[in-house]
Every structure is written in structure tokens, then in C-alpha cells.
Amino acid sequence: MRGCESGVDKLGLLDRFKRGLAKSREAVFGRLTSLFQGRKLDEALYEELEEVLLAADVGFDTAVWLVQEVRRLARAARATEAEALPGLLQQAMEEALADNRPDMHFADSGPTLFLFVGVNGVGKTTSIGKLAARYRAEGRSVLLAAGDTFRAAAIEQLQEWGRRAGCDVIRHAQGADPAAVVYDAIAAAKARGIDLILCDTAGRLHNKAHLMAELGKVYKVIARELPGAPHETLLVVDGTTGQNAILQAKAFLDVANVSGLVVTKLDGTAKGGVILPIVREYGIPVKWVGLGEQLDDMEPFSATAFASAICQPGS
């Protein structure tokens, strides 16, 4: 096991979260400033806070829980002025994310394999490319497997990301068996002494039975050829879709043994609050977040940096 924040400067990480979550911060903090100036922590303000959280796509159950937690924290701190609200809300958000375990799991020996799942258009291939570049920068050798053989564009995209990240890509023709691609990738990784295999998969969800059968075959090949793998099954969701990201998470939990989430495109949305119900209500850890369009804009998830970036002012 290795922490995904290893080697990352915490101050720099907070700055990157603040930049990437600027729209979400404005959706929460921008409205909070108008709530707490010269006011008391009273029932009317708590009701307005709940409305703000709902507007930020936190979801009803989690919004109610956060407001109740803010009340409890305010009583414990004997806070009566509304100026305390951002700090109290940040603390409540961190508690909501307390069970999030962002560590990535690696094999003790031999190749490590991460399997990526998610519907088309969420940024799955881009996430694979960015993580490949990150792990390459850490000194790991990385091999990509183009297991999404349903779309020719997916294969071409992964090849381009492989070129940018400096990684070889194992691919077959469009329409080939994804399990065969994964089999060849594992064989190549063993032969070349590769540290890490990142495997793409098809993004279809209109037919769960077909997707389940396809993933089942891929899992079977992985387990046979690389015992203990996949070491992570990462579900990629698009942060701009808000509550729909939760629906996708629920759907994929039915067909894949998801160990963590990658939430993309958070820099382009005010719906960053969707991370809270995903973690708190469904128990799926968020491991990586996309905070920009550059190659190095994939960041390890930090509950502290996330809550601070949402609740506190700053550029």
C-alpha cells in the first residue's frame, strides 16, 4: 500500500485545490458571505445554509447531516456569531469525509494492475493518461492496455496519451475481445519488467448484462494471469454531472468491484459538492480528482484540501 499523497507538497496541493474548485467555492462560500455578515447563528440561517448546500449538489441527506453537524459544532464551541460558519462547515465537511481512504494499493512484487471503468465521455481515457504521466514522473515504468475495443476513437485516444506520457500501449483492432488485450498487456508487462499496467475498459452501460459479462471475463483473465489483481478498480465519473455521477456510481457498483473513484472536470463546475454524498452515503473513496486540463492536473484527493478550498475565501 502506498499513500497517493506521497511526495506532494501540502501547501501546493491546497493551492491547486483552491484554483480547481473556484466555481464550487463561489457556489458555497460566495453565498455564505451574504448569509453571515452581521448575523447570528439562528434557525433561519441554518435553513439558508441547507439551501446553499443543496444548490451545490451536496444532496438532501448529506445537506441535512452537514447542517446538523454544524449545529453540534457551534454548540460545542459556544459559537453564536455567523462569521464562524465557514470554519464550522469546513470542519463538518472534513468529518463527512473522515472515512475516505485515498491510498492506492500496489503489488508487493511483479506488475501492479489498475482497471478503469466508467461510461463514455466522463474523461476515463484522459484520466488514464494523466495518471500514467504522474507515475512515470515518480519513476515507475507504465504500460497502457486499450481494453475499450468498442470505440475505435478510444484506442486512438489512448495511443495519443501514451505518446504524451511516454508509455507503450497494448492494443488490438476495434471489436476485439477486451480480455485478450488485457491478457497480452499482462504478458508484456511480465516480460518487460513493467511496474504498472493501466487498463481501459468499454464505457457501455445501456446493457448491464452485456457489460457484466464483458467485465467478468476481464476479471477472470486478470485473476488467472496476475494473482491479487486488479489492485484497484477505479470508477471515473464526470464532476460536472452532479447528482448523475451518483447514479453512475450506483450502476457500476452492480457490475464491478469498484475500489475507488476518479472525479474529473471539477474545475469546470460548481457541483463539486457531489463528492460528499458519494463518500458519506455510498462508502466509495475518492482517490483522484481532475482539477484542470493540463497533463499534471490530476491530484490525489485530500479531504482537508477539498473542505478548505470549498469553505474558505482565496484565489
Handedness of CA 251, 256, 260, 265 (dihedral sign): negative
SS3 255: coil
SS3 257: coil
The pLDDT value given to residue 32: 66
The pLDDT value given to residue 151: 82
Of 17 and 75, more confident: 75
* CB atoms inside a 10 Å sphere around CB 217: 15
Per-residue pLDDT, averaged over 83-87, amounts to: 88
Handedness of CA 29, 88, 52, 236 (dihedral sign): positive
Cβ contact 29:275 at 8 Å: no
Q: How far apart are CA 48 and CA 85, in angstroms?
A: 12
Q: How far apart are CA 178 and CA 303, in angstroms?
A: 35
Q: What are the contacts of 265-268 at 24+ separation with CB within 8 A?
A: 265/123, 265/238, 265/239, 265/240, 265/290, 266/20, 266/21, 266/24, 266/239, 266/290, 266/291, 267/19, 267/20, 267/21, 267/22, 267/23, 267/291, 267/292, 267/293, 267/297, 268/23, 268/239, 268/240
pLDDT tens digits, one per residue of 11-48: 487 788 888 888 877 777 666 666 666 788 999 889 98
| Amino acid found at 167 | C
The pLDDT of residue 3 is above 60: no
What are the residues facing 289 on neighbouring strands? 263, 299
The pLDDT value given to residue 2: 40
Backbone φ, ψ for residue 145 (5° rounding): -120, 120
Q: How far apart are CA 145 and CA 169, in angstroms?
A: 6
With CA atoms as reference, report the closest residue to 168 among 152, 191, 151: 191
Q: How far apart are CA 253 and CA 247, in angstroms?
A: 10
pLDDT tens digits, one per residue of 212-250: 788 889 999 999 999 999 999 999 998 888 778 888 888
